């Protein structure tokens, strides 16, 4: 990796970190406050609609934002054409969802969600006004502007959501939060970014990007169905309250597994794209990315699983305790997710979207088989099937990655195994603390967190983990430089 790309990547990671940690902090606080006020049923009603909203977001983009990032040479005509196409698609989708909302209510046998769906169906339209800006900024690794817009948006949405929750608006508090957040994000992107769409449109340019965009659309569509079909099935077979417990547990595990992974993910895709023709640099990039990502994600996910009871009891209150068992299991899904995403970014950078689509077909088929086999035995059995599908998906993705780089399944397992082993020891000690100590609550949670951080850090140093050495080699020169300045 040359120095110019490396410097841009480091700067991008810094701003991406500020963006992600800032958003996570704000969203985490807002989610805790609203969960304590609203309870599981309100979140369950939103979760029922999540698969439809997710699919709508993806169809509104039609794979073109990723095409803008990946295309080697980008013109103003490309950018403007994509912008107008996305706005048009989003409006059409909003109208379709509005008129189909009664059918969704009939499917769930729940009339309350009809009006909610009609309103939320137009949120992707608001999102489309800023999505082209986001793609351009990502392509240029200008994550500082995205950070400002995202932080401002989640703050505005969170304040509105909390205010409405306290004033008895129930599930509509969550709807208003989403609307205000998207309006704020799009407005701030237009304010901070100097690009504005010009009055030109070319169907020819869109067709030229069609191969990549269509494959990416199909891939993302199947990915969305794969990730959200559990909400659909649980919402159909169980009560909104039961779905609310599952939704909250899934949301908690996704905070570290999915959201923290974005710190690396939003950077590795353009970085992998820049070195896609240099096999050695590409292998070095994916190896380093996976080693550093798992160094943080593994202990967080294992620690969250080990502290689930005290974590939920302290932060969400005892009314959310039925979600503890779901959270413990879902943390295993979150453990595997970052590994899949690194491999997916490699295939995206190599423009292997046809292979990604094929993989998603396999994953979707496996998901359907798992659901058919497990739904009769309850939500915990469904989650166990989810874990098995995630493990198989990682094996398939890493095998294909090995054909494009020198970092296949076995090499990836050798990279993550030491970190997984150390994390498992740490998690066992943390969980034993819950069994041994005669008290619970905040005191127990703080002791568990303290023990986990201490034991993990010591074991990383004693076992001389490669990823830990990489981290130290990056941090130590900066610490020395600061000491010299002082």
- Per-residue pLDDT 10s for the chain (486 aa) are 455 555 555 566 677 778 878 888 898 899 999 999 998 999 999 999 988 988 888 887 666 776 777 666 777 887 888 888 888 888 999 999 999 999 999 999 999 999 999 999 999 899 889 888 888 887 777 778 888 899 999 999 999 999 999 999 999 999 999 999 999 999 999 988 888 888 888 777 777 766 665 666 777 788 788 788 999 999 999 999 999 999 999 999 988 887 777 666 655 555 555 555 556 666 777 777 787 788 888 999 999 999 999 999 999 989 999 999 999 999 999 999 888 888 887 777 776 767 877 888 888 899 999 999 999 999 999 999 999 999 999 999 989 888 877 778 888 898 889 899 999 999 999 999 988 887 778 899 999 999 999 999 899 888 877 667 666 665 555 545 455 555
- Could you tell me which of 134, 138, 121, 145 has the C-alpha nearest to residue 83? 134
pLDDT reported for residue 295: 86
* pLDDT score, position 44: 94
Q: Are 187 and 265 members of one domain?
A: no
Report pLDDT for 479: 45
Domain count for the chain, please give it.
2
Residue carrying the six token digits 């992974």: 261
Q: Which of 180, 207, 237 is the last residue of a domain?
A: 237
Contact of 357 with 222, CB cutoff 8 Å: yes
- DSSP annotation of 111 reads S
Same domain, 231 and 254: no
The domain in which residue 203 lies consists of: 1-237
CA 335 to chain centre: 13
Please tell me whether residues 320 and 463 are part of one structural domain.
yes
**How far apart are the C-alpha atoms of 369 and 364, rounded to whole Å?**
9
Last residue of a domain, one of 222, 237, 252: 237
Same domain, 321 and 215: no
Are 205 and 266 part of one and the same domain? no
Let me know: does 86 contact 61? Beta carbons within 8 Å.
yes
CA distance 173 to 163: 8
Q: Is residue 301 domain-shared with residue 198, that is, in the same domain?
A: no
pLDDT computed for residue 324 by the predictor: 95
Torsion angle, alpha carbons of 457, 462, 465, 469, to 10: 80
Q: Looking at the structure, do residues 111 and 177 belong to the same domain, yes or no?
A: yes
Note the pLDDT of residue 274. 55
373 and 277 in a common domain = yes
> Could you tell me if 309 and 385 lie in one domain?
yes
**Other C-beta atoms lying within 10 Å of the C-beta of residue 115:** 13
- Tokens 């449109």 sit on residue: 201
**pLDDT at res. 248:** 93
Predicted local distance difference test score (pLDDT) of residue 393:
92
Indicate whether 33 and 95 sit together in one domain: yes
**182 with 259, same domain?**
no
CB 178 within 8 A of CB 49: no
Q: Are 471 and 292 in contact (CB under 8 A)?
A: yes
CA–CA separation, 53 and 116 (whole Å): 11
> Which whole-number Å values give the CA distances from 367 to 265, 370, 478, in the listed order?
24, 5, 46
Residues 429, 477 within the same domain: yes
Domain boundary among 237, 255, 278: 237
Distance CA 460, CA 423 (A): 9
């Amino acid at each position: 990796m040359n120095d110019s790309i490396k410097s841009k990547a480091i700067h991008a990671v810094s701003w991406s970190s500020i963006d992600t940690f800032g958003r996570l902090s704000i969203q985490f606080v807002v989610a805790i406050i609203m969960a304590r006020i609203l309870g599981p049923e309100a979140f369950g009603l939103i979760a029922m609609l999540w698969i439809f909203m997710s699919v709508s977001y993806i169809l509104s983009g039609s794979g073109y934002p990723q095409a803008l990032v990946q295309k080697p040479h980008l013109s103003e005509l490309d950018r403007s054409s994509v912008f107008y196409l996305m706005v048009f698609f989003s409006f059409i989708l909003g109208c379709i969802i509005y008129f189909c909302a009664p059918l969704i209510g009939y499917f769930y046998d729940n009339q309350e969600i009809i009006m909610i769906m009609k309103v939320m169906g137009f949120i992707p339209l608001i999102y489309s006004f800023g999505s082209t800006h986001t793609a351009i900024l990502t392509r240029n690794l200008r994550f500082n502007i995205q950070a400002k817009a995202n932080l401002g948006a989640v703050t505005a949405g969170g304040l509105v959501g909390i205010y409405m929750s306290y004033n008895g608006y129930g599930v509509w508090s969550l709807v208003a939060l989403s609307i205000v957040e998207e309006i704020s994000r799009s407005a701030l992107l237009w304010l901070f970014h100097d690009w504005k769409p010009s009055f030109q449109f070319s169907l020819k340019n869109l067709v030229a990007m069609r191969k990549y965009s269509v494959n990416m659309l199909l891939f993302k569509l199947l990915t969305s169905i794969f990730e959200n079909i559990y909400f659909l099935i649980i919402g159909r077979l169980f009560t909104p309250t039961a779905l609310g417990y599952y939704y909250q547990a899934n949301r908690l595990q996704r905070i570290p597994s999915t959201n923290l992974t974005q710190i690396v993910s939003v950077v590795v895709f353009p970085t992998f794209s820049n070195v896609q023709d240099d096999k050695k640099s590409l292998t070095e990039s994916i190896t380093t990315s996976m080693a550093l990502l798992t160094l943080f994600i593994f202990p967080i996910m294992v620690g969250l699983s080990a502290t689930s009871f005290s974590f939920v009891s302290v932060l969400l209150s005892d009314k959310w305790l039925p979600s503890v068992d779901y959270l413990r299991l879902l943390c295993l899904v979150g453990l595997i997710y970052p590994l899949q995403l690194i491999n997916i970014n490699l295939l995206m950078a190599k423009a292997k979207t046809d292979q990604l689509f094929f993989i998603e077909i396999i994953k979707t088929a496996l998901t359907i088989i798992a659901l058919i086999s497990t739904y009769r035995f309850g939500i915990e059995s469904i989650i166990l099937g989810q874990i098995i599908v995630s493990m198989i998906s990682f094996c398939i993705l890493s095998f294909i990655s090995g054909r494009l780089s020198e970092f296949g399944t076995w090499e990836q397992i050798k990279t993550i195994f030491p970190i997984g082993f150390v994390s498992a020891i740490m998690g066992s000690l943390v969980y034993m603390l819950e069994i041994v100590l005669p008290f619970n609550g905040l005191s127990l949670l703080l002791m568990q967190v303290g023990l986990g951080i201490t034991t993990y850090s010591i074991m990383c140093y004693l076992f001389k983990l490669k990823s830990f050495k990489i981290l130290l080699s990056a941090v130590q020169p900066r610490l020395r430089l600061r000491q010299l300045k002082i």
